[in-house]
Structure 1
Amino acid sequence: MAQAIPAVTESGQPILILKEGTSQTRGREAQRNNITAAKIVAEIVRTCLGPKGMDKMLVSSFGDVTVTNDGATILKEMDVQHPAAKMLVETAKATDQEVGDGTTSVVILAGALLERAELLIDKNVHPTIIVDGYAKAADKALELCGEVSEAISPTDKETLKKIAMTAMASKLVSENKEYLADIAVEGVLQIAQKTDEGYRIDIGDIKIEKKSGASITDTKLIRGVAIDKEVVHAGMPKRIEKAKIALLNCPLEIEKTEFDAKIHIESPEQMKAFLDEESKILKEMVEKIRKAGANVVFCQKGIDDMAQHFL
């Protein structure tokens, strides 16, 4: 067994072995580097905030172009390497996942707090004291938010609509924000579940399907499920009310045997009998689905042309 030799000097100081091109900073310099990195991220999205916020053009390594002023989208597309900047980006992502908005404000606020913290550090205020002060300020801010906030009833659609419109005021869809706000509010109310603690909403219950080529005003709310697939037969309906769905993990076709088999057909009558038997088997499969009461079938495997006809 090999014994590890600790990398320390005679005085007990550790010896750090770093990769080529790596630099190490400590103390006040490290603090400044971290604050500067976070401030740079905040500065990038600062001009996107508010009704007069400007758009950014993002070009990926593959040449894909995205024009947006959404902070979450901008930060998601950025290739950030600095640990402090990465932490700020992750904070924005967490805000987007939990709240769905406010990512730009979070990053700008964090950058401003760090900028003020840098001034206090220059005055030799210990970082622990600064953190404690910010924690007390956060508690006070939450207390004031509780005092000035108003409870909104789910039946007050007009107020809910105004709230939804504020999230779109600075987006590319701002011209159609009233139309989209109506759809958004109606969609959320459809999935709201009343509990003892209030209303529970799982935004994952809403699926957004995007198609290019139409106008924003062609956006519709579907009270059901939209499947982005083609029907197997042109004569099948594309809209089903009160659907009873069968999910099949097996093929609706005659499966080949696992071993080689040869069938000798010597007359047209035998050929007809063979085809009739295949048709009978497929018809029995479809009949079982029909007796189960299903009027929509999703099949992961193949569907024979004859089975499509019977369906």
Structure 2
Amino acid sequence: MPEGSSRVLGRDAQRMNILAGKVLAETVRTTLGPKGMDKMLVDGLGDIVVTNDGVTILKEMDIEHPAAKMLVEVAKTQEDEVGDGTTTAVIIAGELLKKAESLLDMDIHPTIIAMGYRQAAEKAQEILSVISIDAEDRETLMKVAMTAMTGKGTEKAREPLAELVVGAVKQVEDDGEIDQDHIKIEKKDGATIDDSQLVNGVIIDKEPVHPGMPKKMEDARIALLNSAIEVKETEVDAEIRITDPAQMQAFIEQEEQMIRDMVNKIADAGATVLFCQKGIDDLAQHYLAKAGIMAVRRVKKSDMEKLARATGATVVSNIEDLSIDDLGLAGSVAEKKISGEAMIFVEDCKDPKSVTLLIRGSTQHVVDEIERAIEDAIGVVAATIEDGKVVAGGGAAEISIAKGLKEYADTISGREQLAVNAFAEALEVVPKTLAENAGLDSIDALVDLRAAHEKSLYMGLNVFTGEVTDMYRAGVIEPHRVKKQAIQSAAEAAEMILRIDDVIASTGAGKEPDMGDMGGMGGMPGGMPPMM
């Protein structure tokens, strides 16, 4: 091995990796549930992020340990696939590693533990399917959205925000498929959360290019152009020789005429509003203003696609090809000032397949956290519509699965039985953590939950009252996909980390490796990962 490399073998490697996973899980654990606390993350430039969103915390932290990075991947996958449940996935993975450590101390081989975990994960998915309920009515979607947003700084306006989210997702649904990219989120501070609104159309963070253009257009006919409105330059280097002032004048007039023809083509097609992906020449702006056309330039490609889906317009590459059939329709296109900044509102579109959520809040940090809550809510509502299955929240699903796994463990012979039991106990970390974060006694809460599950599968912990209640009646519901993905990802990550018995780290020439420090404080150099 080259100089500067380091190697950790056998039990030391396993202990080091498990410790890193446990420390990472402990870091995000306090953020779980309605009573979860927030983290303040400060980067090298002094920028601040205040959040209790698991994946945001892990992305912002500067994590160096390889095993800890694997758990960050779990959170990212959860975020990409479902949009919520990132903290749950990480703390389950951390707990699985913690339980595995006890089994390793009993001289059980890591391969046997991994095999038991795999069997348990498969059985957990079967139990999850049994305890899930078919539902995708609007009332259920509202409850799912509110559950996802609880504890994320949106408490005061949970219901109106859930209404906006469900309305947005329903609007962009296309034959049961939902592309979340078609829901645009615009955020502006300087108002209350209650001022947030759903726009049946698109908000463009731009203003008309010329002060002489109309500020508002009713029953707008919209043209979308992705080429510049200016005189094209030659593809090759060219030189024009002018020997007479009259020729110069004729040349300038010819350029003006070309621009005028372009504007006339847009006006003749019947367009009253123009969105251009590229530039608009100063002279063209003047002629467009004279023609009474509202024009916006340098619109992002993603916004052009959203405008096309919302208004029914076709994006045209060549002005010569523009016709009345390419135009889209909107009830109103208007320039509005939001927090002192001009924005174009394209509203009242007929059955738009792209909509915009305008998020308001008192400060930038508040708006950012509301945006994260809204994104989680959009993800869970979309998952519920696509799958049509939900499970009880408040730790009810985890307790049900744990109970089923313990019964299943009794049917297995061999050492895998211990791993299946450990998997069942690891899942109980979710209700246990919910209780701890609410200031309740976690052992009492677990005992009460287990007793209640002898009678009903849907009993979970109400963290506001400290009592065990029926989660369906309380309206605490989560999509089946959130739990499915969290358990699957956590189990696979834990298995992969357990199977590692040799960590070889090679560093650049002359650079001392950090592997010697990895055993301390979860294997993150200097203890907690540097956040400043």
Given the two structures, how large is their TM-score scaled by the length of structure 1?
A: 0.83
Deviation of the 1:295 alpha carbon: 3.2
Aligned pair partner of 1:43 in 26, 36, 39: 26
**Which residue pairs with 1:291 in the alignment?**
268
CA contact (8 A) 1:165 1:177 kept: yes
Gaps spanning 5+ residues in structure 1: where?
Answer: 1-15
Aligned pair partner of 1:236 in 198, 214, 217: 214
Secondary structure at 1:136's aligned position in 2?
helix
CA contact (8 A) 1:37 1:85 kept: yes
**Which residue pairs with 2:286 in the alignment?**
306
Deviations 1:17-59 (A, max 9, x none): 242xx53210011000000001110010011011111111100
Query: What letter matches 1:159 in structure 2?
Result: T
Relative to 1, partners in 2 of residues 1:61 and 1:142: Cα closer, same or farther, differing over 3 Å?
same
Query: What letter matches 2:223 in structure 1?
Result: I
Relative to 1, partners in 2 of residues 1:141 and 1:241: Cα closer, same or farther, differing over 3 Å?
farther
Secondary structure at 1:120's aligned position in 2?
helix
Secondary structure at 1:204's aligned position in 2?
helix
**Which residue pairs with 2:229 in the alignment?**
251
CA contact (8 A) 2:220 2:273 kept: no
CA contact (8 A) 1:48 1:104 kept: yes
Secondary structure at 2:135's aligned position in 1?
coil
CA contact (8 A) 1:246 1:294 kept: no
CA contact (8 A) 2:223 2:274 kept: yes
CA contact (8 A) 2:26 2:91 kept: yes
Aligned pair partner of 1:189 in 155, 166, 170: 170
Deviation of the 1:274 alpha carbon: 8.4
Task: State yes or no: 1:17 paired with 2:2.
Answer: yes
Aligned pair partner of 2:197 in 215, 220, 229: 220
Deviation of the 1:242 alpha carbon: 5.8
CA contact (8 A) 1:246 1:289 kept: no
Deviation of the 1:231 alpha carbon: 0.8
Deviation of the 1:223 alpha carbon: 1.7
The equivalences for 1:116-131 within 5 A come to 116-131=99-114
Query: What letter matches 2:166 in structure 1?
Result: V
Aligned pair partner of 2:156 in 172, 175, 180: 175
Which of 1 and 2 has higher RCO (CA within 8 Å, sep 6+)? 2
CA contact (8 A) 2:263 2:287 kept: yes
CA contact (8 A) 2:221 2:270 kept: no
1:278 and 1:18 map into 2 onto residues whose CA distance is 68
Relative to 1, partners in 2 of residues 1:129 and 1:255: Cα closer, same or farther, differing over 3 Å?
closer
Deviation of the 1:119 alpha carbon: 0.4
Deviations 1:95-129 (A, max 9, x none): 00110000001100000000000000110111111
Relative to 1, partners in 2 of residues 1:70 and 1:262: Cα closer, same or farther, differing over 3 Å?
same
Deviation of the 1:233 alpha carbon: 2.4
1:240 and 1:191 map into 2 onto residues whose CA distance is 24
Given the two structures, how large is their TM-score scaled by the length of structure 2?
A: 0.50
Query: What letter matches 2:200 in structure 1?
Result: R
1:252 and 1:190 map into 2 onto residues whose CA distance is 37
Relative to 1, partners in 2 of residues 1:118 and 1:285: Cα closer, same or farther, differing over 3 Å?
same
Gaps spanning 5+ residues in structure 2: where?
Answer: 294-532
2:105 and 2:59 map into 1 onto residues whose CA distance is 33
1:239 and 1:142 map into 2 onto residues whose CA distance is 54
Which segment is superposed worse, 158-167 or 214-223?
214-223
**Which residue pairs with 2:17 in the alignment?**
34
CA contact (8 A) 2:263 2:288 kept: no
**Which residue pairs with 2:64 in the alignment?**
81
Which segment is superposed worse, 23-32 or 288-297?
288-297
Query: What letter matches 2:179 in structure 1?
Result: D
Deviation of the 1:90 alpha carbon: 0.8
Query: What letter matches 1:167 in structure 2?
Result: A
Aligned pair partner of 2:187 in 186, 199, 210: 210
Query: What letter matches 1:182 in structure 2?
Result: E
Secondary structure at 1:208's aligned position in 2?
strand
CA contact (8 A) 2:164 2:197 kept: yes
Relative to 1, partners in 2 of residues 1:123 and 1:239: Cα closer, same or farther, differing over 3 Å?
farther
How large is the Cα RMSD of the aligned pairs?
A: 2.5
CA contact (8 A) 1:252 1:307 kept: no
Secondary structure at 1:207's aligned position in 2?
strand
1:150 and 1:307 map into 2 onto residues whose CA distance is 61
CA contact (8 A) 1:248 1:297 kept: no
